[in-house]
Each structure stands twice: as C-alpha cells, then as structure tokens.
Amino acid sequence: MEITRKNFKESLEVIETAINECSFLAFDGEFTGLNHAGMSHAAIFDTPEERYYKVVQGASDFLLNQFGFCTFSYDGTTKTYTAKPFNFYVFPRPFSRAAPDVRFTCQSSSLDFLMSQGFDFNKWISEGVSYLRPVDEASLKDQIIKKHEVLSSPAFISPSGGSQPPGINKSPVEIPPEQKDFVDDICKRVEKFLESGEHESYSLPPCNGFQRKLTYQSLEAKFGSDIHLQGKTNDKKERYIVVTKIKDSDDVKRIEENKQAQDLAEVDDAVGFTKVIKMISQSGKLIVGHNMLLDVAHTIHQFLYPLPQDYEEFKSMCHCVFPRMIDTKLMSNTQPFKDRVENSGLSYLHTLTQMPPFVKPEVVLPEEWDNKYKTEMLHEAGYDAYITGQCFIALSNYLGQCQSPPTERIPPGSPLLQPFLNKIFMMRSLDIPYMDLCAPDLNPARDHVFHITFPKEWKNSDISQLFAQFGNVHIGWIDDVSAYVALNSKSVANYVLKTLCKKGSVYRIRSYNDHKNPKYDEGTINPYKYVRPKSNDNGDVHHDMTDEKKGVKREHSVEPEDNDSIEVGSAKKAKTLNVDAPEFTPTSTPEKEEELQWPDNINSSEKKVGEESTKSKLFTEPDDW
Amino acid sequence: MEITRKNFKESLEVIETAINECSFLAFDGEFTGLNHAGMSHAAIFDTPEERYYKVVQGASDFLLNQFGFCTFSYDGTTKTYTAKPFNFYVFPRPFSRAAPDVRFTCQSSSLDFLMSQGFDFNKWISEGVSYLRPVDEASLKDQIIKKHEVLSSPAFISPSGGSQPPGINKSPVEIPPEQKDFVDDICKRVEKFLESGEHESYSLPPCNGFQRKLTYQSLEAKFGSDIHLQGKTNDKKERYIVVTKIKDSDDVKRIEENKQAQDLAEVDDAVGFTKVIKMISQSGKLIVGHNMLLDVAHTIHQFLYPLPQDYEEFKSMCHCVFPRMIDTKLMSNTQPFKDRVENSGLSYLHTLTQMPPFVKPEVVLPEEWDNKYKTEMLHEAGYDAYITGQCFIALSNYLGQCQSPPTERIPPGSPLLQPFLNKIFMMRSLDIPYMDLCAPDLNPARDHVFHITFPKEWKNSDISQLFAQFGNVHIGWIDDVSAYVALNSKSVANYVLKTLCKKGSVYRIRSYNDHKNPKYDEGTINPYKYVRPKSNDNGDVHHDMTDEKKGVKREHSVEPEDNDSIEVGSAKKAKTLNVDAPEFTPTSTPEKEEELQWPDNINSSEKKVGEESTKSKLFTEPDDW
C-alpha cells in the first residue's frame, strides 16, 4: 500500500491495526545519499564506535526519503503468513513559516540509482508525508500557545481597538511615491467590501512583503477596529492578506481562537510520519531489517531524536526505541547459513531462500491490497521490507529444520533466534560482524594488524612488497600516507616489527594497538622523503616505472586461517550458531555494497583511483569489493 | 525549447547559431536551495566582499538545477525581436566510475517551491544534461590516456598473453566453498561460448564485486590469452562481465584502443552543458539577468571554475567569463525607473513594462519553436530568461524616450546603458546597490551605523528604545547578542556614542568603523548580565512582561533622508541616471526575496522567531521584507 500525504490520515487506522496484530515486521529505508567523498578503505578495521561516528555523519547530512515496512501475521490453521506491505514517501515539507526548513545532502549517484529503480522524485516532493521530531512539535505548539496568550492579554485587546503596543516607539513607514497608487487601490477595495456587506471576508490580491507591510499599516490607520487582517499563502506560494469584518472585540477573540486551533491542528498534521514510527516503537514487536544499521540510525535521527555523540548512548537509545531487532544480513553471514549463502545481497538471498534446502514460506497479501509486489520492485522500500520478511521466515524455519527432531516453524520469539537478537550487521568489517546493542561489542585481537605511514607515492604494491616475507596481507588505506595492514597468517605477527622497524626507513610502522593507544610521543622520523622500498633497488628506470604504474591497490586474501570460534549468546537448542569473527567471512558483503551504492572509491583513497592493479586495468574493471 | 540529454547533442548547432546571431541574451537559473539556516539580517549592511563570501558558500553547497537562456535578435525592417528561449535541466550524472560523484545540498522549501511551479524532478535526474568543469575533463582524459599507455607498454602485453604484472606478489584469492558452484558455472559457460564459435563476445550474468573478482581470476587462469574480459553496467545498474574471443595480441590491442576511444568519447559527452556556457562566454554578447548575482556565481562555479576565495579575483573572473552584463533588477531600482517601478519582482516588472509609459516590445518566436511560453511559466528558467529579455528591451527603449529628441530603440550597445554595465544588483543592501565588476565598489559613509552587543534576552524593542532619542533606526541582527543599528537621521550620529557609551551598561556600543577596524582590544564589559535598559524602570511586572513579549523585531523606516546623490558612470546622454545609494531605495527588494524564496527568518535571528511585533502578531503575519 503506497502512503502519501493524500491518503496518510485515512490510512492511519489500517496501519495501526496491521502493526498491532502482526507477529513481526520488516522494514527498509531509501536515502538521498550514503557517504561523503573520500571515505577511507580503512573501514574494514573500524571498531563499532568508529563506524558509528560515520553513521552519525551520514544521518545528519543525508535524508531518508522512502520508508517501507511490512507486517507479517501468522495463521496457524492455514500455516500461512499474511503480509501487509506499506511504502511511504517522506519529505520534510516546511508546512508553516515557523517550521524547520530542512537542509540535506544528496549524492548524485544515489539519486541516479533510485531513479533507475523507479523512485518517483516528483511524488516524493509533492506528496511525501511530512514528519516532526517530538522536540520540534513541542516547541512549535509552545510558540503558538504563547503567541495566543499575548494576543488575548487585557493590555493588548482594548475596546478602542488600539493594537499599537504601548510604550514602544514605532512610527509608521512613510509610503514611497511609487507605492501611493498601490495603497490607494487597496484602501478603495476594502472600503467597497465593507460597504457592500455581502461577504464576511475579502482576499486582497497577492503582493510583496513591503507592500503587505504598507497594507497592514494603511488599513489599520484607516479602518482600525472595523477589520481584522490575516496573511495567507496561495497555491502558487504567493502571500496575500484576508480582510474580515469585525463587530466587537469578541469577534477578534473568536477569530484569534480559531486561528490558534487551526495552527495547532496544522502542527499535528505535520507530525505525520513520526506517528507511524512511534506506533512501531511502542508495539514492541520484533523488527527485522537487512543490513539495517543505516535504516535504524536514520529512522531514529530523522523522526525521533538526534543521534547522540556517545556510541554507548546510541546503543541504549536504539534498544529503547526498537527493543527487539534482527538483521537478516547478519543471519545469512553466520553459520549454518554462511556455507549456503554465496551472496547475501537481499535480492539473491530472497531467491535462494525460496529454494531447497530452504522452504519457501507461504505468504499472502490481504484481498484489499494492491498486487504490485507480484512483480519484483527491488529498492522500493516497501518491496524490500516485504522480501526481507520472507527471507527472515525462511531462515528462521531453516533453523527448525536443523533441529533434532526437525521443527517446521520457528516463530519470531523462538530461543533459536536469540543469538541474532539486537545485533546489527557491520558491513565490510574484517573481524567484527555486528554491533551488539545489549552487550559489550566484540573486541577481537588485532596483534596481526599494523599501522604504517609512508610517502604519498606509495601504492598497494609497495606495501605488499614490504610485507612479502610475511605472506598475503589485507591493506586498509586510511589516506594517502597511511594504512592499516593485516597479516593473513597471524602466526608470524611477532616478527613484523622486529624485521621492519628500521632506523632511517621512509616508512614508519607500529602495532595497531600502539597506534590506537599511543603510550608516548615517539621521536619523529621524516616519512616524506621518498625512497621506493624495494623496486628502488632495481636500477632499471623503465621497469621501475612499469612497476609503479602497476601498483596493486586492492589485494585481498580472505580465507579464514584460524578456527577458534567464539560461541556468542545462549543458543539453547541451536547446534551450530557461531556468530563470530572466525566463522564470519566478509566475502559476501560486496553485493550489499552495490545495493547500497557505496562508491567504488571507498576501496582506495581517492588519489589512487586510476592506478588499480594491472590486472584490473587489463580487464578494465577495478576490483570493487 | 526544452533541452535534456535526449536532444542535447542534436540541438547544439541550433544553440550555437542562436548565440552567434543574437543582439543580446538573457539568462536565469533555478537552484536546489538558496541559503543556510540562520543567515543573519545584518545582510543589509554587507559590504560587497562580505556578500560575496555568502555567495561562495551557497554556490559550493547548492546546485543550479535548471539553466534558461533566451537569445534576442533584432530585425530593423520589421522592428521586431526574434526570441529563442532554451530551457536546460542540468544534472551531474556520474557517467563513469572515475567521474565526480557530486554531493550537494537541498533546501526543502526550495524543492517544495520549485515543485509548485512545475519543476519536473524526475526529468531533472533522469534526463538532465551532464556537465564537467574543464579541469575535471582534463584530468579524466589524462587518466584514460595514461591507463592506455600502461596497457600498451611492451612489458605488459606479451605474446604469451601474460597479464600478470612482473615482480608483484599477487597470489590468487582462494575460492570460498560457497562460491565453488558459481565459479564452476561461469567456467562452463565460457567454455561453451568458445566451443560454439557463433559470436565474438558473450555477456556473463550480473554478479557482485567479489564474484567478479573470482570470475576474472578463474577465467584468466583457465583461458589465459584466449579471451579478453571487460566490465560493464546494465540499465538496472548491475555490473557484469563481457567475454571476447582473442586470436592474437593485436586483437587485445585493438580492443583496448577501441575502449580508449569509447572512454574519451564518453568524457566528451559528459562535458555536456559546459559546452553551452563556453559558447555564451566566448560569444562576448551582452548577458542580461534579473537579480543575477547568484545566477552568475553558480554558473561560473558549477560549469567552469571553482569560485576563488578572493573577492577581487572573483570580479576579474566574472568579467573575463562574461565581459558584458546588465542586471534589470538594478535598472528598475535606479532612476528614471525607480519612481515608476513599485515592485521590481520580475513578474511584476514584466507586466509593468508592457504598459505605458513603457512601450511593449515586439517579440516573436521562430515558427519551429514550441509555443508553450504563450502562457505564463514563471520560475521555469527559460521562461524567466525570456521575460527578463523583454523587460530589458522595454527599459532600454524607455531611456530613449527620455532623450531629447526621443529615440525609439536603444540597442544593447548604446552608451545610455553604460551606467548599468557590469554592475550586479546587491539584494537587500541598504546603501550599496550593486557590485561593480570593473571598478572599485561603492564605499558609502556609515558614520550613522553602530555595532551593539547586548544580553541575549534583548529584542527589537529594547534596541529601538535605547536609540529612541535619535529617531527611527534600522536594525540588522547579526546574532542573538549583537546587531548593527543605523540611524535614519544622519545628523545626530555624532551624539550617539557620547550619549549611550556608559560605564556599567549591559550593552556595548561602538561605531561601525571601529567595529570593522578595531584599533585595540578594549577592556571587556560583561555584556551578558541581563538588565532591561529602559522598561527596566517600570517596576510593573505585568507591563514589563507584556512589553517584553511585544518586542518589535523588524522595525524599519526606509525613507531616504539625504539627497546628496552620487553620479556613477559616464551617462553621456542620460539625464537622470543616478545609480547610487541615496537615490536607491531598498523598498522594492522584497518581491525578489519571495521569488528567490529567501526564508522569512533571514529577517531576524532564528531565536527571535515567534516574537514579532504585536502588530504582526495581531495580523498573524510577520513583516517579512
């Protein structure tokens, strides 16, 4: 069901019923952009806290422009889920002159992508449902009430109709010569209106702000307490003044009271979509998302409360707003699913979970629902929520199949799902698969990770050559002159610093831990005097140049080396639910990258673009995973 | 004529002809936003340099999303202008993975406004013409050429087909178990393709980045120099790989050369709208705009060169790009027009200049042109350009009517227009009507202007009461605790500091000049201890409260007091062309404010919103001019 401001109010009841009667709901958001230019490849080494700061930045700048959710209710007799998908366009329309006039950032590739997926930007702007954070709602209502208190104070409304505030030096603006005709015309119109006695009120033609000022001033001087004036805006966004006849001061009071009631109702309307988020939050129902970190963060920030600066506070806030969440991307990257899910992108996962060994869930839409999701509508938030919920049902039930004896259906509250509860997938992370909202985050040892600074001419090849004797490495570029380097083989980690820390070298290397918690200011080595570390010795200029050009930027080896898995959560009946780093492979993250339109240059610092490995050059496509 | 990327290339010739054959051209732009929240009311006291810095900020953040221009050619025999209006949607589509992925800001009120005026956002994003600054064009082409140089270097393409770069440690990624089926399938497909011999190339199904990496690696290992691989993107924005059969190394070379040519052509296409701006610039034709500062600044910044930090450099740059410009808003706010133009908003000006004493110019469209501008389409850039040009013709010819003897037509090159040449209207300024691109800017005396800091509880009423003895004042709020105050009566300026500078007062006042050029660090007075300056003495709590609530925020008096006009420019034949401050009234600026959607709170610091004068409260509409 598509919800715009045209059918929002009339749909609220249907929405509320759907939320209250469901077993769980899935949700998804679309955004005007995802990240700022130059986001570093070092994201693979982000701690959850570091990742959170990037998310806060994104949520403050970009806008969630489409929110979809889908409720799922289970009928035990028919063994069928009834799904009710809702798709909302949301737009921060400034409904009044006091309302927030939101500025937000767009990323052109994101708009281009959404457009290619059928997002209707005209509908978004003209029919998007508005929203207001509770704090803005309160402050706007407060302003309206305070204004009315002043207007109805005895000192203000006097029987003589004197609206001139006492004791304030306020002489009228002199009417400039070129405005005299305009003012005369206005006065004549109002005179005629008062004489005719036909209508209660009369709308003056639209005019500019200065002319409206002159209008107020001139009409007040001429007609005093016989009229009441009120500014309005027409469809063309032009401002005009409505003149109303006044018999006594009660008339003024009545008009002002009506106006206040109108103003308050207008704010109430503007709260709009925030009401839906409050319903979802207050329902306490399980919320399912696919790679849901951005969705959750944007939803809270945009519709409820600005995200806090403190990460632990964010975790509490999240848990408070949505007390039960499960991320299907995290599920599919965890055993027993990991070995069966070669690509955890939502679309692929949906297809996969409709085939054996998974059991395609029976999901029907209510008769009165539009049937447009019969065809694939990827990246419409409502559709993505709809298929995310289906994936969740299939994945959950698969956990039942793995039981002994097998169970056909695993309900959303099953203890089998406990290991996934309130853990949000952390995309691209090498060794921290999720943020844990209800417990301290994982803190895997990073003894095999090093921080290195080097001359800005260095490329992947220079770093991998430097580490060649220690085997394959993961490189996470921070910027032009620094990177994290992780050994694939942890066993040789102890030898790295002993071997590579040399006086007078052009690079500077230290352990990840020392970099994160520097114990003292070390003496400075000039890292900017450029000497190529190895090919430097070649002496062959041409070869050296070739070598430089061929610098490999994105050389990864992803096979997990160790298998010391950590058991997380209490999976009472689950057999193989290891939700942790060693069992977690980052190999299936790229699909979601694409879905989320992370730009390719996230994989390398910007200045390195166009200097990919020769391999990618030959094949003309950079390795973008 | 509407130009999108669908008809851009085929229209370039028509565009070029129109520009080259015209007498002058008018232009206009639409934007995704205009200003950031909390822009201060002190803008009325901006120096041109200060104003420029605000413009730079806006041009860096917001996007020009529609550019319209209209050429006008005069036919002396029919005494008719032929107008050719063009309306371009422009969008920074990232055409390749190396191209800039632009981030820009939107202001929700601006989008809402454009929507209400018929702007088609879907067309903008899906069909907008792309553009590239020359520096980006050069760098992208450079990248492509460099890439090709590497690919065709002898060390790289070897007869053995070895695309593995020499001397680089690069072991293949191990294929994870869940990807084995995928890789096997791909290899089978390619095998079949090579065996069949039917087609030259074969497109693999879309897959994710990691799978593409595996594909490259596996196919290279298996088929080596028999195939060439190339990454592409389909309409759904999915990436896939095209496999091409290779007979010898010449085949590879040919494919790579074709690819390079394609890549270069793609960049050339992406330059798109920048070509049009270059044509306009190189034509040297007179460019007419209405309130054109933002249009000019955005156009240069977005399509040609980033705006410089230095204001004088901007003036040179402007003059270099558009050597001859005239602003019709400046014209209409200058004598002899000022007295006849009660509202210099474009729409009003257009209507006005079609009636006596102006002579409606004869303007026709070519037969082949669409006729949609027969009906009013305000705020479509092409339409606004079309009517701006008409206003310009009527205003110019009116200068001829004022001659003795009268002249019927004043051509764009007439010396009568000299006083307006290369002066850009400065909206909202109290005493500096324009930026002068070819001369030092006006520097009017501001001896009657003062800078004052005060407790944050102060409102307009507090300031105007403090200055009551000196008559009416203009107040320009800088922020919550400071403002500029200009006396209406300049003659008493000398007494202000003598009278108001008191030890121990809660406010601090100094002359505008001292504030701008502080001579020394004065001893600090605590300006934040709140004591109400006058109403303070009332003792009546209720009255005091009322008084506070009734604080007048936007009290202006605009009548010019002095008449010591400054003659600007050499108006050889003009009689009454005084283009300067005393003759210039800011009274007609508000209409354009509205047209440009400056938010109302520009008129007062944000915290003061909702505390307007009692008058505006009674009439429910704040004075927004």
- 3-state DSSP assignment of residue A410: coil
Q: Take residue B296 and report the two structure tokens written for it.
A: 């000019």
The third-level CATH classification (topology) of the domain covering A151-266 is Ribosomal Protein S8; Chain: A, domain 1 (3.30.1370)
What one-character-per-residue DSSP string does B554-578 give? ---------------S--SS-SS--
pLDDT at A108: 96
The CB density around residue A195, as the number of other CB atoms within 10 Å, is 8
Average pLDDT, chain B: 80
The third-level CATH classification (topology) of the domain covering B2-131+273-436 is Nucleotidyltransferase; domain 5 (3.30.420)
Task: Report how far residue A457's alpha carbon sits from residue A481's, in angstroms, rounded to the nearest whole number.
Answer: 8
Q: Return the residue in A587, A589, A594 with the most chain B beta carbons within 10 A, the one to mutate for interface testing.
A: A587
pLDDT at A282: 97
pLDDT tier, B622 (very low <50, low <70, confident <90, very high otherwise): very low
pLDDT at A39: 61
pLDDT at A558: 30
Which chain A residues have a beta carbon less than 8 Å from that of B210? 587-591, 625
Q: Nearest chain B residue to A624 by CA: give it.
A: B209
- Distance from CA of residue B67 to its chain's centroid? 10
pLDDT tier, B472 (very low <50, low <70, confident <90, very high otherwise): confident
Residue with the bigger pLDDT between B231 and A525: it is B231
Does the pLDDT at position B545 exceed 70? no
- 3-state DSSP assignment of residue B519: coil
CB contact under 8 A, B546 and A461: no
ipTM: 0.79
Can you tell me which residue has the tokens 């570093």? A40
- Is residue A488 within 8 A of residue A513, CB to CB? The reply is no
Residue with the bigger pLDDT between B589 and B49: it is B49
Give me the phi and psi of B67, to 5 degrees please.
Answer: -120, 125
Q: Which of residues 286-325 of B touch A (CB under 8 A)?
A: none
Give me the phi and psi of A352, to 5 degrees please.
Answer: -60, -45
Give me the phi and psi of A256, to 5 degrees please.
Answer: -65, -40
Q: What pLDDT, in 10s, does the model give residues B363-383?
A: 999 999 988 898 889 999 999
- Is residue A167 within 8 A of residue B535, CB to CB? The reply is yes
Residues of chain A with CATH 3.30.1370.50: 151-266
Q: What pLDDT, in 10s, does the model give residues B50-64?
A: 999 999 999 999 999
Task: Find all residues with CB under 8 Å of B586, minimum gap 6, and list them.
Answer: B44, B428, B429, B430, B558
Does the pLDDT at position B418 exceed 50? yes
Please report, for residues A456, A488, B316, B531, the alpha-carbon distance to residue B437 in angstroms, rounded to integers and kept in the order given.
41, 62, 7, 47
Does the pLDDT at position B255 exceed 60? yes
Burial class (CB in 10 A: 0-12, 13-18, 19+), A527: middle
Task: Report how far residue A581's alpha carbon sits from residue A432's, in angstroms, rounded to the nearest whole number.
Answer: 6
Interface membership of A553 toward B (CB under 8 Å): no
- 3-state DSSP assignment of residue A369: coil
Q: Take residue A156 and report the two structure tokens written for it.
A: 């203000």
Q: Take residue B430 and report the two structure tokens written for it.
A: 């109290």
Residues of chain A with CATH 3.30.70.330: 449-560
Q: Take residue B611 and report the two structure tokens written for it.
A: 């505390």
Q: Take residue A581 and report the two structure tokens written for it.
A: 């780093």
Give me the phi and psi of A486, to 5 degrees please.
Answer: -115, 130
Q: Taking residues B7-11, what's their average pLDDT?
A: 96
User: Cis ω on the peptide bond leading into residue B357 (within 30° of 0)?
Assistant: yes
The CB density around residue B7, as the number of other CB atoms within 10 Å, is 14
On the CB side of B73, how many CA atoms lie within 13 Å of its CA? Answer: 13
The CB density around residue A142, as the number of other CB atoms within 10 Å, is 11
Task: Find all residues with CB under 8 Å of A477, minimum gap 6, and list them.
Answer: A40, A41, A42, A483, A604, A605, A608
Measured in angstroms, the CA of A394 and the nearest CA of chain B are apart by: 19
CA nearest A595: which of A220, A292, A360?
A292
Residue B65 belongs to what H/E stretch? strand B64-75
Q: Which amino acid is at B358?
A: F
Can you tell me which residue has the tokens 């220079």? A462
- Is residue B155 within 8 A of residue B166, CB to CB? The reply is yes
Interface membership of B165 toward A (CB under 8 Å): yes
pLDDT at B39: 61
Q: Which of residues 492-531 of B touch A (CB under 8 A)?
A: none
pLDDT at B247: 80
Q: Is the dihedral of CA B251, B256, B261, B266 positive or negative?
A: positive
Q: What does DSSP assign to residue A131?
A: B
Task: Report how far residue B622's alpha carbon sits from residue B551's, in angstroms, rounded to the nearest whole number.
Answer: 13
Q: Take residue A119 and report the two structure tokens written for it.
A: 């997002």
Q: Taking residues B98-115, what's their average pLDDT?
A: 94
Which chain A residues have a beta carbon less than 8 Å from that of B618? 151, 156, 163, 229
CB contact under 8 A, A108 and B102: yes
Task: Report how far residue B78's alpha carbon sits from residue B409's, in angstroms, rounded to the nearest whole number.
Answer: 13
Task: Report how far residue A376's alpha carbon sits from residue A369's, in angstroms, rounded to the nearest whole number.
Answer: 16
CATH class of B449-560: alpha beta
CB contact under 8 A, B103 and A103: no
Can you tell me which residue has the tokens 């601090």? B508
Interface membership of A95 toward B (CB under 8 Å): no
> Beta strands of A268-312 (E only): which ranges?
286-289
Q: What pLDDT, in 10s, does the model give residues B495-507?
A: 999 899 888 889 9
- Is residue A148 within 8 A of residue A256, CB to CB? The reply is yes
Q: Nearest chain B residue to A216 by CA: give it.
A: B619
CB contact under 8 A, B178 and A210: no
Q: Is the dihedral of CA B56, B58, B60, B65 positive or negative?
A: negative
pLDDT at B152: 60
Task: Report how far residue B57's alpha carbon sits from residue A437's, in angstroms, rounded to the nearest whole number.
Answer: 39
- Is residue A577 within 8 A of residue A335, CB to CB? The reply is yes
Q: Nearest chain B residue to A612 by CA: give it.
A: B147
Which chain B residues have a beta carbon less than 8 Å from that of A122? 115, 120-122
Please report, for residues A151, A219, B548, the alpha-carbon distance to residue B612 in angstroms, rounded to integers and kept in the order given.
12, 19, 11
- Distance from CA of residue B107 to its chain's centroid? 13
The CB density around residue B47, as the number of other CB atoms within 10 Å, is 18
Does the pLDDT at position B113 exceed 90? yes
- Is residue B490 within 8 A of residue B582, CB to CB? The reply is no
> Beta strands of B376-470 (E only): which ranges?
423-425, 434-436, 449-453
User: Which residues sit opposite B241 in a β-bridge?
Assistant: B231
Interface membership of B543 toward A (CB under 8 Å): yes
Which chain A residues have a beta carbon less than 8 Å from that of B211? 342-343, 590
CB contact under 8 A, B345 and A208: yes
pLDDT at A161: 38
Q: Which of residues 352-371 of A touch B (CB under 8 A)?
A: none
Residue B363 belongs to what H/E stretch? strand B363-364
Interface membership of B563 toward A (CB under 8 Å): no
Which chain B residues have a beta carbon less than 8 Å from that of A174? 557-559
Q: Is the dihedral of CA A124, A130, A135, A139 positive or negative?
A: positive
pLDDT tier, B479 (very low <50, low <70, confident <90, very high otherwise): confident
Q: Take residue A10 and report the two structure tokens written for it.
A: 């009339």
Measured in angstroms, the CA of B277 and the nearest CA of chain A are apart by: 21
Q: Which of residues 575-604 of A touch B (CB under 8 A)?
A: 585, 587-591, 593-594, 599-600
Residue with the bigger pLDDT between A607 and B354: it is B354
Task: Report how far residue A245's alpha carbon sits from residue A219's, in angstroms, rounded to the nearest whole number.
Answer: 12
Which chain B residues have a beta carbon less than 8 Å from that of A557? 171, 173-174
- Is residue A578 within 8 A of residue A565, CB to CB? The reply is yes
Does the pLDDT at position B161 exceed 80? no
Q: Taking residues B146-157, what's their average pLDDT?
A: 62
Q: What pLDDT, in 10s, does the model give residues B333-349?
A: 998 999 888 889 999 99
Number of helices (H), then strands (E), in chain A: 20, 17
What one-character-per-residue DSSP string does A536-560 give? GGG--HHHHHHHHHT----------
pTM, two decimals, is 0.79
Interface membership of A178 toward B (CB under 8 Å): yes
The CB density around residue B199, as the number of other CB atoms within 10 Å, is 11
> Beta strands of B426-525 (E only): which ranges?
434-436, 449-453, 473-479, 482-487, 508-511
The third-level CATH classification (topology) of the domain covering B138-255 is Ribosomal Protein S8; Chain: A, domain 1 (3.30.1370)
Give me the phi and psi of A344, to 5 degrees please.
Answer: -95, 15
Q: What pLDDT, in 10s, does the model give residues B458-470?
A: 988 889 899 999 9
At residue B84's C-alpha, the angle toward residues B81 and B90, to 5°, is: 150
CA nearest B7: which of B63, B88, B70, B68?
B88
Residue with the bigger pLDDT between B15 and B601: it is B15
Which chain A residues have a beta carbon less than 8 Å from that of B259? 620
Q: Nearest chain B residue to A141 by CA: give it.
A: B610
Task: Find all residues with CB under 8 Å of B175, minimum gap 6, and list them.
Answer: B183, B214, B218
pLDDT at B11: 97
- Is residue B64 within 8 A of residue B31, CB to CB? The reply is yes
Task: Find all residues with CB under 8 Å of A594, minimum gap 6, and list them.
Answer: A345, B208, B209, B238, B239
Residues of chain A with pLDDT under 70: 38-41, 150-173, 519-625
CB contact under 8 A, B546 and A106: no
Residues of chain B with CATH 3.30.1370.50: 138-255
CB contact under 8 A, B106 and A101: no
